[in-house]
Structure 1
Amino acid sequence: MRLPAPIGEAWDWQLAAACRDADPLVFFHPDNERGEPRASRVRAAKRICRRCPVRALCLGYALESGEHHGTWGGYTEDERRTLHRQATQHERDRGSGAD
C-alpha cells in the first residue's frame, strides 16, 4: 500500500509569508524567557506578522493544527489559547440555545 503524495497546495501560503526570510528565533521563545526580553521579541514578531499577506491563513493553520509554540498569524501561544476557549464557548452557547 502506498501513502498518498503530499498536497503542496496546502502549504503554498507559506511561500508568501513575511516571516519566510526572518530569523525563526523571533517567533519562538527560548526556555525561561520572561519580562521585557520576551515582550520585545513578541513585539518584533507581531510587527512582521502585521505586514504579512497570508496572516489569516497562518493563524488558521496554527488554530486548526493545535500549534502550541510560537507566534503564528500575529498571535502568541496564550492569545491562541484564548481564541480557542472563546470559540469553544461560543459553540457551546450556540448548542444550548444561549445565542
Structure 2
Amino acid sequence: MVRGAPARPVQLPVPNADVWDWQLDGLCRGLDSSVFFHPEGERGRARSSREKAAKQVCGRCPVLDQCRRHALEANEPYGVWGGMSAHDRADVYRGAVRTA
C-alpha cells in the first residue's frame, strides 16, 4: 500500500469455474465446431444454411442467455454464440438491433 493512498477493498478475480460453468450445460458441447464456425471462404447459401443449423441448436439450449451475454461482452469476432452470428453481433454493436 502506498502511504497516503486511499484504502480500497481488495477485489480478487473470480475463479474460472464460476465464470465458465455454464458452458458445461451447452447443447453445443461435444458437437463438431464446424457447425458453429465457418470455414475460410464460406459464403452465400452454404454459410446461411450452416448458421441456421447452429441457431437451431442454440434455440433449444438451456444456457442460450449466458452464451449470448458472453459473446457480446467478449466481442467474439467469429462463430455462432447464443443464437447470434458474427453479423448479428455486429448489428448489435452498431445499435441496429436491441437485445432484451
Structure with greater Cα Rg: 2
Aligned: 1:66 with 2:79:
no
- Alpha-carbon distance, 1:7 to partner: 2.4
Aligned-pair distance for 1:84? 1.7
The residue aligned with 1:24 is 33
Query: Per-residue deviation at 1:75?
Result: 0.4
1:75-86 mapped onto 2 (5 Å cutoff): 75-86=84-95
Give the CA deviation at 1:15: 0.5
Identity of aligned residues (%): 48
Stretches of 4+ moved more than 3 A in 1? none
| 1:6 Cα offset (Å) | 4.0
Matched residue, 2:43? 34
The residue type equivalent to 1:16 in the other structure is D
Q: Which runs of no fewer than 5 residues in structure 1 stay unpaired?
A: 91-99
Q: More helix per residue: 1 or 2? A: 1
1:45-74 deviation digits (Å, cap 9, x = unpaired): 011000000001000000101110000000
Structure 2 spans left out of the alignment, 5+ residues? 1-12
Quote the offset at 1:5 in angstroms: 7.9
Q: In structure 1, how many angstroms separate the alpha carbons of the residues matched to 2:84 and 2:14?
A: 31
**Number of paired residues?**
86
- TM-score, normalised relative to structure 2: 0.78
Tell me which moved more, 42-51 or 5-14: 5-14
